[in-house]
Structure 1
């Protein structure tokens, strides 16, 4: 393995003139800001670009798995194939594991995931390494960098924004005034500009929280299968470890992601209405105890050690902006919105928002001086940009994520949802991009108006699956299908999406048929209770809150 940072020398640029003016200033130099600067300088070398990055070095933040579309953004749009192949791991799709009282480990847990290796590229990332590399490419392309530096104040005016920037050089703080035609906020969850403009709202309809860290010494799931569970090994050809493995249960899911440096990222995401890990004062104990209570996970982390210094948590995760772009400013990536790490949508959002923003800025700055026609064109582009990304967030949340944690304890239901969600993602985004457009397309998930039928289908499906999951809990049959089942998924640009959609529909239909039996069971139970003969199948108690 090459020395990852041997060729990285991002020296601090000293702004010597007050009131320096740039075409574009970008707040934040991680993947969103670095990619925006790189694309702007590559496609319009005459534009002056300044990046203001607060960190002297990037840390190992979460964001370690791409999807097929974000991988296309990194490989074909940014040209990072060599970097990704040398410093990161390939990702082999998504895999799901469920448990109940019968499960003792991976061998008898219910499993859904790819049978063969994925034919569409995606990656497991070390975000600190990726962020440094893209930032270096942007600087090599001519972008200027202030690092470490912070924006202390901002005065947003149409195409003439002023910023007060504080830079630390050898322990001495220097304050400079800079102005720009375009200001891009790529500050991540800091949401610097969005908060300044009072555009950011918490999405309290989605009350999830998360806790995570990286581990050393996590066992290799494929070796466990080969040495301890030959039938499990025989049930798959591709690598299970290289998938993003999800361990799911009622109200939570756990990600397990291998990293190129030998560590493994393990994080819990949970619905705060069901679990209360975020309230524990002994965070590490609550985190590790929760993980070890899952039999399959206990197999992996027995003997492993968490990197205690890396333990992080968020008590609120989901938020959104009311507006992505205005006259001379734009929000990209996590600086604009975030829903949920489930399905790894964060880097998709980075790719879509950065590319769409860059295209609009290039068009607007090319019209100099602007005339009435170009002004009208920009106003229309801005309206469509804001509407498309706002619609994408709201539709995506409502039909994929809202109350989804209610059905995570049912293996067949969460598998049906995964298969149909993924099939539609392939049919309407991945396949058109790779087979027809043959380039990265910056239309976000469910953003275009023609996506409305897909939105309605997914929203109806999630509503029905949640109703069925609730019915199972009320009749005492929660989790009965979580052991001993194998459901195969495939990732390619041919018939795989249709096969996954068909399998998902089959699981859904079977669940609907079984729900008729459960409703009869519930009705007879109520009738027996009303006649003084209580049924042993009375509704379950409320879920136990785990700490």
Structure 2
């Protein structure tokens, strides 16, 4: 570390969000002085350490293209065979459970991430770019300046009794769930979405195909790539269980539940979690019964919101220090990309004397209103239908279409931190919010009116026409004007789809048609 007392940027936290933020800032502004303060050391083990092993298309694009990490991901991380979900009778033959997934690796790449391997690479890369990284440093407080004065960051080094301070022009809070700035300013907001999680990392490969031990040509067609490469989900009423492969050769297995259906107290310890698997996913429980545990971790009240993530007073919250939705569909890396890219733009504007309150307001609106309100109905009140294959077959196609049509486009087209683009996206997102809420409500209504399916069937969601077109659309070069024109057209398509689904439900089951609501969801 250079012996200086002031930096242009101090990043509080050197996990995935903080390390990628520092990398993005230095790549954009090589002369910017950046300090990262991180509590842990660089001796990070493989296949353990933190949750968050699966990335989807936009986050993967951010890591590889925007951060220049394509080589690392292609050499040291696993390619992802898309999303895969299994429904039906958890006590019957595994290969008889209805399945959603992909046969072949998709054109647009995504990855399964071993966080230990990636964060070691990011630490090496940070130092190579000229970032000062101080390990075993616990940030204890920040004194935020309301005017043009520097902020002050207070921290302690392990083994030292004397507190240290450093001045910063700009503070990036990457402290994860500690949410340093939000707690200090009282910005955090509880989420109406009450979910909890617990997970293991097991030594070795635990392949869903070996768990099934199926020989049927229906389950093992020649066109099927190895399912092990997918983010595999075992779905049930009020829960989902993930099985994710890691490039270290180990496997992550996690339980996520709705508190109202499966209380956290029923799986909050390793022993209880084993018993929970015995009851709800016995085939998996037997499969991993003798597995060597690398670690077991848990989190309660996983979802949370915030009143603010960015300030013209030269601070920002990135990754989980800002908000957290849910791990289902793996949006975490995308939200790191959104918040880091906006933060980098804010620092650029500040260096030019153009970081105003109006700019910060635009970015808060984009993140906390336009994007959050588009994503959040995907999860809220929907866990009770997670085990219902017919409803979820439609839901996965809908949710994937929304994601590829709107938020993913902002990252692929480089528009997420463009103030003019944010202003143009706002009315598109506002129009979509009501459509999203109506469709999710109708999916719940559909689940209450139809019987779940236990017989084997397979849906290749990426081959549905709307998904095929939107998937390839991610790698189609576009101007900003064309991108927003396509977004508006795609919202028209989604509105038409939602309307026809709603009318069919009303006709078939004599249901009242719900009115769209403008009520904000948190």
Q: TM-score, normalised by structure 1?
A: 0.80
Deviates more, 1:445-454 or 1:264-273: 445-454
Q: Which residue of 2 aligns with 1:24?
A: 9
Residue 468 of structure 2, aligned match among 474, 496, 502: 496
Q: For the residues of structure 2 that align with 1:303 and 1:296, how far apart are their CA atoms?
A: 10
Structure 2 SS opposite 1:228: coil
Q: Which residue of 2 aligns with 1:96?
A: 85
Residue 167 of structure 1, aligned match among 143, 157, 161: 157
Structure 2 SS opposite 1:114: coil
1:55 aligns with 2:40: yes
Superposition map of 1:142-181 within 5 A: 142-158=130-146, 159=148, 160-168=150-158, 171-181=159-169
Residue 342 of structure 1, aligned match among 328, 331, 351: 328
Distance 1:306 1:470, change over 3 A: farther
Residue 266 of structure 1, aligned match among 253, 256, 281: 253
What's the offset of the Cα at 1:398?
4.0
Superposition map of 1:159-238 within 5 A: 159=148, 160-168=150-158, 171-203=159-191, 205-222=192-209, 228-234=215-221, 236-238=223-225
What's the offset of the Cα at 1:136?
2.0
Kept in 2, the 8 Å contact 1:106–1:296? The answer is no
Deviates more, 1:130-139 or 1:415-424: 130-139
Structure 1 SS opposite 2:219: helix
What's the offset of the Cα at 1:393?
5.1
Q: TM-score, normalised by structure 2?
A: 0.83
Note the alpha carbon deviations across 1:8-36, whole angstroms, 9 max, x for none.
xxxxx3x756xx11111110111211122
Residue 238 of structure 2, aligned match among 241, 251, 274: 251
Kept in 1, the 8 Å contact 2:52–2:332? The answer is yes
Residue 22 of structure 2, aligned match among 37, 48, 63: 37
What's the offset of the Cα at 1:128?
1.9
Distance 1:37 1:46, change over 3 A: same
Q: For the residues of structure 1 that align with 2:299 and 2:395, how far apart are their CA atoms?
A: 26
Q: For the residues of structure 1 that align with 2:251 and 2:375, how far apart are their CA atoms?
A: 28
Note the alpha carbon deviations across 1:386-434, whole angstroms, 9 max, x for none.
1111114541354211101021121111121111110122223446765
What's the offset of the Cα at 1:471?
3.9
Residue 455 of structure 2, aligned match among 483, 486, 489: 483
1:463 aligns with 2:428: no
Distance 1:379 1:341, change over 3 A: same
Structure 2 SS opposite 1:234: coil
Distance 1:499 1:191, change over 3 A: closer
Q: Which residue of 1 aligns with 2:69?
A: 80
Structure 2 SS opposite 1:311: strand
1:69 aligns with 2:58: yes
Distance 1:48 1:433, change over 3 A: closer
Distance 1:141 1:219, change over 3 A: closer
Gaps (5+ residues) in structure 2? 473-489, 512-522
Superposition map of 1:278-289 within 5 A: 278-280=264-266, 283-289=269-275
Q: Which residue of 1 aligns with 2:487?
A: none
What's the offset of the Cα at 1:461?
1.0
Note the alpha carbon deviations across 1:62-102, whole angstroms, 9 max, x for none.
1101110000000001111111122210011111100137x
What's the offset of the Cα at 1:511?
9.7
Q: What root-mean-square deviation, in Å, do the aligned CA atoms of Structure 1 and Structure 2 show? A: 3.3
Q: For the residues of structure 2 that align with 1:458 and 1:401, how far apart are their CA atoms?
A: 11
Residue 403 of structure 2, aligned match among 412, 419, 425: 425
Distance 1:123 1:496, change over 3 A: same
Q: Which residue of 1 aligns with 2:369?
A: 391
What's the offset of the Cα at 1:288?
2.1
Q: Which residue of 2 aligns with 1:125?
A: 113
Kept in 2, the 8 Å contact 1:355–1:442? The answer is yes
Deviates more, 1:192-201 or 1:244-253: 192-201
Please identify the structure whose Cα radius of gyration is greater.
1
Distance 1:334 1:33, change over 3 A: same
Note the alpha carbon deviations across 1:478-507, whole angstroms, 9 max, x for none.
x3x133222112279996046999999999
Q: For the residues of structure 1 that align with 2:499 and 2:390, how far apart are their CA atoms?
A: 8
Structure 2 SS opposite 1:260: coil
Kept in 2, the 8 Å contact 1:244–1:255? The answer is yes
Q: For the residues of structure 1 that align with 2:267 and 2:376, how far apart are their CA atoms?
A: 33
Q: For the residues of structure 2 that align with 1:194 and 1:431, how far apart are their CA atoms?
A: 29
Note the alpha carbon deviations across 1:433-461, whole angstroms, 9 max, x for none.
65xx3x57458999733123332222111
Q: Which residue of 1 aligns with 2:306?
A: 321
Residue 357 of structure 2, aligned match among 374, 379, 388: 379
Q: Which residue of 2 aligns with 1:310?
A: 295
Kept in 2, the 8 Å contact 1:321–1:336? The answer is yes
> Number of paired residues?
482
Distance 1:114 1:215, change over 3 A: same
What's the offset of the Cα at 1:134?
1.4
Kept in 2, the 8 Å contact 1:65–1:244? The answer is yes
Superposition map of 1:134-145 within 5 A: 134-145=122-133
Kept in 1, the 8 Å contact 2:189–2:306? The answer is yes
What's the offset of the Cα at 1:296?
8.0
Distance 1:134 1:319, change over 3 A: same
Superposition map of 1:506-517 within 5 A: none
Residue 429 of structure 2, aligned match among 441, 451, 462: 451
Distance 1:397 1:427, change over 3 A: closer
Distance 1:518 1:100, change over 3 A: farther
Structure 2 SS opposite 1:201: strand
Q: For the residues of structure 2 that align with 1:172 and 1:35, how far apart are their CA atoms?
A: 28
